[in-house]
Amino acid sequence: MRPSLRARRHAPGARREELHPLTGEPVEVVTDDGARLHVDVDPVGPAHGSGAPTVVLCHGYALSSDCWHFQRLALRGRYRLVLPDQRGHGRSGRGPAGPVSVARLADDLGQVIDAVAPTGPVVLVGHSLGGMTVMELAARRPDLLPRVSAVALMATSAGGMAAVDHGLPMLGHHLVRWAELALERAGHRYDVLERSRRAGADLEQLLVRHWNFAGPVAPELLRLSARMMAQTPVDVIADLLPAFSTLDEREALAGLAGRPVLVLTAERDLMTPAAHGREIAEAIPGAEHVLVRGAGHLLMLEHPSVVTARLERLLSRRAPVAGTVQEVVVPLARRTRGRRAR
């Protein structure tokens, strides 16, 4: 029998003036295949030997480490933060040409941890593709698991992505294949596609709003999201796209058991439906599943205070919860808008 859902309300915490650029200590990690990865490290935190973990924040598809803006503001100075840009994203290099698999990204993440956090406990936080990367890391680097003190997976999936309709029933599950075919037919004329993207920047912002946010957001958040996506090269988007339809990380989930695990899902996520997150939580004994009402795919930007509070709670825990806990969070902003509408 599925556990009952407990509903809680949470106040919003994002402030527009907080969107100034955040920087830390830049570190370059060169992977075994020669890709140059940019890693931002916020080194100020608890004294060495305090036992406080290093928190590694892994971003999703067509984003960058800038997506963790509000969580970084809240946690910096209290924990050592490691924010890598996945290969081809943000300020990281592309690496060798050719398809990029989730396994390759997991190897990258393992090498980042080896280089930047070689000792001590680590907490792994992954959003969307970043969550898939964390799950694959558990399968490929079992030597790291004893050091992983907690895991947060948000708006992500362990498999079955080929059937996702992206909010367009009877049509959406064909979109990925159509996009793959269009990119294949473009050959290597990615320069033409890039110019087309720039010409359609206004349309791109509308699509970003539709597929990533469930409701109105501040213009600054929309511009940040659109900028991260626009800065991701077309060839990187093309090379990663096929990886989603073949994704299957379900066997890797067993490796995450035995430690606190938080699975955050967004009720109105069109990219990785909430049901996928629930399946992940149910497959990991002692995992905590939190559904955020009225949230879209980029819930850490749309409802940052909810995500930050849950991460802080995870960081304070020392053991898995008893059984599987499922909870519903209703952001205060959503509650207020609903009352006005009535």
Q: State the CB neighbour count (10 A cutoff) for residue 76.
A: 17
The answer to the question of residue 319 being in a domain is: yes
Give residue for tokens 């009535």: 342
Q: State the CB neighbour count (10 A cutoff) for residue 293.
A: 20
Number of domains present in the structure of the chain: 1
What is the separation, in whole angstroms, between the first and last Cα of the chain? 35
The answer to the question of residue 131 being in a domain is: yes
Range of the domain at 214: 6-341
Q: How far apart are CA 205 and CA 271, in angstroms?
A: 16
123-174 pLDDT, tens digit each: 999 999 999 999 999 999 999 999 999 999 999 999 999 877 655 444 444 4
- How far does Cα 24 stand from its chain's mean position? 20
The answer to the question of residue 165 being in a domain is: yes
Domain harbouring 51, CATH code: 3.40.50.1820
Residue 9: closest CA among 275, 328, 321, 340: 328
Q: How far apart are CA 215 and CA 79, in angstroms?
A: 32
The answer to the question of residue 111 being in a domain is: yes
Q: For all residues of the chain together, what is the average pLDDT? A: 84
119-129 pLDDT, tens digit each: 999 999 999 99
Lowest mean pLDDT across 73-82, 202-211, 325-334: 202-211
The answer to the question of residue 1 being in a domain is: no
